[in-house]
Structure 1
Amino acid sequence: MNKHVLFIFGGGGKEDYAADATLVASLQEGLGEAYLVHYPFLPHEQTKDFGRKKQIGRHISYIKGEIMLVGHSLGASMLLKYLSETRIRKRIAGLFLISTPFWRGQEDWKQGFILHKDFADKLPKHVPLFLDHSKDDKEVAFDHPELYAKCLPKARVRAIRKGGHQFNNDLSMLAKTLNPYENHSLCH
């Protein structure tokens, strides 16, 4: 039986989905046949959050059993938003966030992405959280994972020296993080 990983892409359109497909392929290759990486296209809806919360919930519900959640960029921040604003019944084995923006500011277009001040308290308890971010990311500055680390002291934050926003299209490091847990849940 396969272990399930749901990967939520960054950005809001088909070009972003295509760009992250290389990341997904790299992750699937690194994880091997024991894992099934689900990679749904989430269409851009005309809501402040692009419809992401609803779409993420729908795709989580499609997967039977325990699930690992992986998000890149906007997808990572929307996973945090979904998990902190929605009651989850499904068992989540781990949350892996890559190049995650910490949204702030008063601009109207950002309001659907900004987390509530108490978001950290609302996340599911006992779910291991990993934040990976390249120091040379030109899309999302390196201070963003530092802001998350202040809110999420139990999160494991990894600074990657080089790789840019797309991690050089190589998620083998993330696959190695997931693989040690192949025979048991990340949750204890």
Structure 2
Amino acid sequence: MARQVLFVQGAGEGVYDCWDSKLVASLERELGENYTVRYPRMPNEDDPSYAAWEPALTRELASLDDGAILIAHSVGGTILIHVLAKQQPKPRFGGLFVIAAPFIGEGGWPSDGIGDCKDVSEGLPPGLPIYLYHGAADDVVPTAHVHLCAKAIPHAVVRTLDRRDHQLNNDMSDVARDILSAG
């Protein structure tokens, strides 16, 4: 049976169809047939809110098997981290891989609906491997955000990728390599 992967999209008009679908296609190629990638469309992608995305993510998380891999891009990563920190979902996940997530709080971006990221670490599922990726050439979310996230989640592995943009140049090989090496 193929291992489940949940990919949570980023935010913005057309992101699901025109942008993050390319990340999913790269991920599927890199992981191969032993992995099944689920890519649900999040509500109101052009005007995302924690209030709208949290119930959708809660349903998705509850439907996953133990050992499933979680991957999220940009604002989707920030929201997913908060959902995991607040809920302690039932399945035990194999890892959380977050790409270009904005940090919410001091030094990062403000948000009305998402709480400050500085306190998320204590609420995350114990023992969950966490990887944070950020392109050094990201002109959407400044690279400083990955370092702020790393302070908030001290056990996370941080990968800053040279010459990669907000979409990691649509190349998920580094993420797939970490997933495959983690087992």
Give TM-score, length-normalised by structure 1: 0.88
Residues 132 and 47 (structure 1), Cα distance of their counterparts in 2 relative to 1, 3 Å cut: closer
Q: Contact 1:81 / 1:115 at 8 angstroms: preserved in 2?
A: no
Q: How does 1:6-155 map to 2 (within 5 A)?
A: 6-13=6-13, 15-18=14-17, 19-44=19-44, 48-49=49-50, 51-104=52-105, 110-115=111-116, 117-155=118-156
State percent identity of aligned pairs: 34
Residues 122 and 162 (structure 1), Cα distance of their counterparts in 2 relative to 1, 3 Å cut: same
How far apart are 1:88 and its partner, in Å? Answer: 1.4
Residue 3 of structure 1 is matched in structure 2 by 3
Tell me which amino acid in the other structure corresponds to 1:2: A
Mark the runs of 5 or more structure 1 residues left unpaired by the alignment: 183-188
> Mean Cα displacement is larger for which, 111-120 or 35-44?
111-120
Kindly indicate whether residue 150 of structure 2 is the aligned counterpart of residue 174 of structure 1: no
How far apart are 1:169 and its partner, in Å? Answer: 0.7
Tell me which amino acid in the other structure corresponds to 1:26: S
How far apart are 1:151 and its partner, in Å? Answer: 1.6
Q: 4+ runs of 1 displaced by more than 6 Å?
A: none
CA–CA distance in 2 between the matches of 1:89 and 1:30? 28
Residues 12 and 52 (structure 1), Cα distance of their counterparts in 2 relative to 1, 3 Å cut: farther
Tell me which amino acid in the other structure corresponds to 2:150: A
How far apart are 1:173 and its partner, in Å? Answer: 1.2
Q: Contact 2:135 / 2:168 at 8 angstroms: preserved in 1?
A: yes
Q: Contact 1:5 / 1:37 at 8 angstroms: preserved in 2?
A: yes
How far apart are 1:136 and its partner, in Å? Answer: 0.9
How far apart are 1:119 and its partner, in Å? Answer: 1.5
Aligned-residue RMSD, C-alpha: 1.9
Tell me which amino acid in the other structure corresponds to 1:8: V
Tell me which amino acid in the other structure corresponds to 2:15: D
Tell me which amino acid in the other structure corresponds to 2:42: L
Give TM-score, length-normalised by structure 2: 0.90
> Mean Cα displacement is larger for which, 111-120 or 172-181?
111-120
Q: Contact 1:132 / 1:158 at 8 angstroms: preserved in 2?
A: yes
Tell me which amino acid in the other structure corresponds to 1:65: D
Residues 146 and 3 (structure 1), Cα distance of their counterparts in 2 relative to 1, 3 Å cut: same
CA–CA distance in 1 between the matches of 2:131 and 2:48? 28
Tell me which amino acid in the other structure corresponds to 1:73: S
How far apart are 1:47 and its partner, in Å? Answer: 7.9
Q: Contact 1:2 / 1:36 at 8 angstroms: preserved in 2?
A: yes
Q: Contact 2:120 / 2:153 at 8 angstroms: preserved in 1?
A: no
How many equivalent pairs are there? 178
Mark the runs of 5 or more structure 2 residues left unpaired by the alignment: none
Residues 76 and 47 (structure 1), Cα distance of their counterparts in 2 relative to 1, 3 Å cut: closer
Tell me which amino acid in the other structure corresponds to 1:131: L
CA–CA distance in 2 between the matches of 1:47 and 1:35? 28
How far apart are 1:42 and its partner, in Å? Answer: 1.0
